[in-house]
Amino acid sequence: MHAAQFDYERPATVDEAIALLKRHGDDAKLLAGGHSLIPAMKLRLARPKVVVDIGRIANLSYIREADGSIAIGAMTTHQEIEASTVLRDHSPLLAETAAHIGDIQVRNKGTIGGSLAHADPAADYPAPILALDAEIDLVGPGGRRTVKASAFFVDLLQTAIAPDEILVEIRVPATAKTVAYVKTEQKASGFALVGAAVVIGANGVRIGITGVAAKAYRATAVEDVLATNGTPTPAGIALAAAHAADGVEPLGDIHASAEFRAHLAQVNTRRAIERALQRA
């Protein structure tokens, strides 16, 4: 099936792209790697009148370390994240996660900015983005602002990005080495039935879970039990992980029932904590 007819714009700068979003309002959609937008347009789930291709804007694709953080440009592809020695050496969780996304064609074209902006409930990055307590920079007509990961994912396919804003950069701590991502994927697409990301740091454990509910979430109930129990034992980890779906409404679909997703959340969270501890 072909997409409905649309106009195509290719701005050279972020400012030009924002001006186009302002001018066309709800009729416009940004195009990054196209691996979520184009399928949605072909299925007529999205029918933008104007597609604003941000693929030729300079300086939106980079991975660099500065001031204790690693900054990642929004147009950086999954493959570039997977292969980044800066990330693998200093903060390997996103690189580990990127290796789990789709297949090589998807990883070569899809971008971290596009994935976060799309906020698919089965996308992989939201889990590590929450566990890393990442910062996300958005630019709009009013300038640049930073949104914490905890405030970024609003609901199913909804984020804190305003219609005339562009996600430009993601920052993660440069010192998160005791980490792990454990995913059970939907076999045909690779999307997460459930993915659990764990970061163990001096201030405790942070856990992000994707695939279970309408939006990815921090498993704070698990984090709290681990914080209360002190040095984790195998039995203590299992007891804590049993709270992985507390307070959320698991989704069921043709790929997995809500009960199975809640169960997988517990199993993958336990495995991710154990794997991260082995790397400590």
Ligand X SMILES: Cc1cc2nc3c(=O)[nH]c(=O)nc-3n(C[C@H](O)[C@H](O)[C@H](O)COP(=O)(O)OP(=O)(O)OC[C@H]3O[C@@H](n4cnc5c(N)ncnc54)[C@H](O)[C@@H]3O)c2cc1C
Q: Of residues 13, 189, 233, 257, which one binds ligand X by CB under 6 A?
A: 189
The 133-172 site mask, x for binding ligand X (CB under 6 A), equals: ----------------------------x----xx-----
Nearer to ligand X, 92 or 195 (CB): 195
Q: Of residues 24, 35, 171, 243, which one binds ligand X by CB under 6 A?
A: 35
Nearer to ligand X, 118 or 218 (CB): 118
- Residue (of 94, 57, 48, 98) closest to 75 by Cα position: 57
Q: Of residues 18, 106, 131, 225, which one binds ligand X by CB under 6 A?
A: 106
R_g over Cα of the chain: 19
Give the Cβ contact number of residue 69 at 10 Å.
18
Pick out residues in 216-255 that bind ligand X (CB under 6 A): none
β strands within 32-178, DSSP E: 50-53, 63-66, 69-73, 135-140, 143-148, 153-155, 158-159, 166-173
Q: Do the beta carbons of residue 48 and residue 31 sit within 8 Å?
A: no
Number of residues lying near ligand X (CB under 6 A)? 30
- Residue (of 249, 273, 274, 270) closest to 259 by Cα position: 249
| Residue 66: HSE in the Cβ half-sphere, 13 Å Cα cutoff | 7
Instruction: Tell whether residue 33 is a contact of ligand X (CB under 6 A).
Output: yes
As a whole number of angstroms, the distance between CA 67 and CA 274 comes to 30
Interface stretch with ligand X, choices 35-43, 63-71, 147-155, 265-273 (CB under 6 A): 35-43
Find the shortest distance in angstroms from Cβ 218 to ligand X.
Answer: 18
As a whole number of angstroms, the distance between CA 262 and CA 271 comes to 15
> What are the tokens at 275?
């794997």
Q: Of residues 3, 6, 10, 34, which one binds ligand X by CB under 6 A?
A: 34
Interface stretch with ligand X, choices 99-107, 143-151, 172-180, 270-278 (CB under 6 A): 99-107
Q: What angle do CA 113, 88, 69 make, to 5 degrees?
A: 60
> What are the tokens at 178?
């005791």
Instruction: Tell whether residue 190 is a contact of ligand X (CB under 6 A).
Output: yes
As a whole number of angstroms, the distance between CA 253 and CA 191 comes to 13
Find the shortest distance in angstroms from Cβ 120 to ligand X.
Answer: 6
As a whole number of angstroms, the distance between CA 189 and CA 107 comes to 12
Q: Of residues 24, 29, 171, 271, which one binds ligand X by CB under 6 A?
A: 29
Nearer to ligand X, 39 or 68 (CB): 39
Instruction: Quote the DSSP letter at residue 244.
Output: T
Interface stretch with ligand X, choices 88-96, 120-128, 232-240, 241-249 (CB under 6 A): 120-128
Pairing of strands 28-31, 50-53: parallel
Q: Of residues 11, 113, 128, 211, which one binds ligand X by CB under 6 A?
A: 113
Instruction: Tell whether residue 74 is a contact of ligand X (CB under 6 A).
Output: yes
Binding site for ligand X (CB under 6 A): 29-37, 39, 74, 101-102, 106, 110-111, 113-115, 117-118, 120, 123-124, 161, 166-167, 189-191
